[in-house]
């Protein structure tokens, strides 16, 4: 259809002539409401962005001879990153002759994978690259249980548990302090005659 005829037909219907495929021979157009088309396209793009998940890869570094407390701190950090929806790269760093004992690093990574099992799955198994051994953990869509280390330490609940008894003690102590201040204020009128005697 000639362009002039297509424009005239679009005007008759009160719509717009929209070019769909400009590279085709001849170009492909359609008659539609351009404002509505833009709105539907923006809505589709918005829904696509909502469904899209941007995975961030965070790294947690360990040493083969790490102590238990330090390991728990690192594990708690990994749990927090996984619960936030990001992937975690757990790296074992070997120094000097430690590289000859890669078995210790593998055991440590297996331990981390087992501890993170309720909330994460192993996306990439332990692999040695240079002087580092690493594995990648990805968060589970539906956790199979509570996190192992974060559940052991609830700062908010612990703080509430400490504050509540203190508040009760304070509330119980307040009437006693008020009563003490009242008893201290009672003898004050008797001090006035002493002051009068001293002035006289």
Q: What is the mean pLDDT of the chain?
A: 77
Report residue 2's pLDDT band, with 50, 70 and 90 as the boundaries: confident
**For residues 95, 72, 114 and 60, what is the CA-based torsion angle, rounded to 10 degrees?**
-50
> In this structure, what are the phi and psi dihedrals at residue 109, rounded to the nearest 5 degrees?
-70, -40
Q: Which CATH number fits domain 57-139: 3.30.565.10, 3.30.110.10, 3.40.50.2300, 3.40.50.620?
A: 3.30.110.10
- Locate CATH 3.30.110.10 in the chain: 57-139
At the second CATH level, the architecture of 3-51 is Roll (3.10)
Helix, strand, coil share (%) of the chain residues, nearest 5: 55, 20, 25
DSSP string, 83-116: HTT-EEEEEEEP-GGGGGGHHHHHHHHHHHHHHH
Nearest to 108 by CA among 146, 67, 76, 144: 67
More confident residue, 48 or 174: 48
Q: Is 147 helix (H, G, I), strand (E, B) or coil?
A: coil
User: pLDDT tens digit string along 81-117?
Assistant: 998 888 999 999 999 888 888 898 999 999 999 999 9
- Locate CATH 3.10.20.80 in the chain: 3-51
Distances in Å between the Cα of 143 and the Cα atoms of 85, 90, 139 are 12, 19, 8
Parallel/antiparallel/unpaired status of strands 57-62 and 28-32? unpaired
Cα–Cα distance, 153 to 86 (Å, whole number):
21
b/e map 150-165, b = 16+ CB within 10 Å: beeeeeeeeeeeeeee
Cα–Cα distance, 103 to 100 (Å, whole number):
8
User: pLDDT tens digit string along 62-76?
Assistant: 998 899 999 999 999
At residue 132, the pLDDT reads 93
Read off the pTM.
Answer: 0.50
């Amino acid at each position: 259809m000639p362009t002039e005829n297509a424009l005239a037909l679009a005007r008759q219907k009160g719509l717009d002539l929209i070019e769909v495929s400009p590279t085709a021979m001849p170009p492909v157009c359609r008659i539609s409401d351009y404002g509505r088309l833009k709105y539907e396209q923006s809505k589709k793009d918005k829904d696509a962005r909502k469904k899209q998940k941007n995975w961030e890869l965070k790294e947690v570094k360990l040493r083969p001879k790490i102590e238990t407390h330090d390991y728990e701190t690192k594990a708690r950090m990994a749990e927090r990153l996984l619960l936030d929806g990001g992937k975690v790269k757990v790296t074992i760093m070997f120094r000097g002759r430690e590289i000859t004992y890669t078995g210790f690093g593998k055991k440590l990574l297996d331990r981390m994978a087992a501890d993170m099992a309720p909330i994460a799955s192993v996306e990439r198994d332990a692999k040695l690259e240079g002087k580092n051994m690493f594995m990648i953990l990805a968060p589970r869509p539906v956790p199979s249980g509570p996190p192992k280390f974060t559940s052991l330490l609830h700062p908010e609940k612990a703080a509430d548990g400490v504050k509540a008894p203190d508040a009760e003690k304070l509330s119980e102590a307040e009437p006693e302090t008020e009563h003490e201040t009242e008893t201290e204020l009672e003898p004050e009128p008797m001090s006035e005659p002493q002051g009068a005697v001293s002035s006289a």
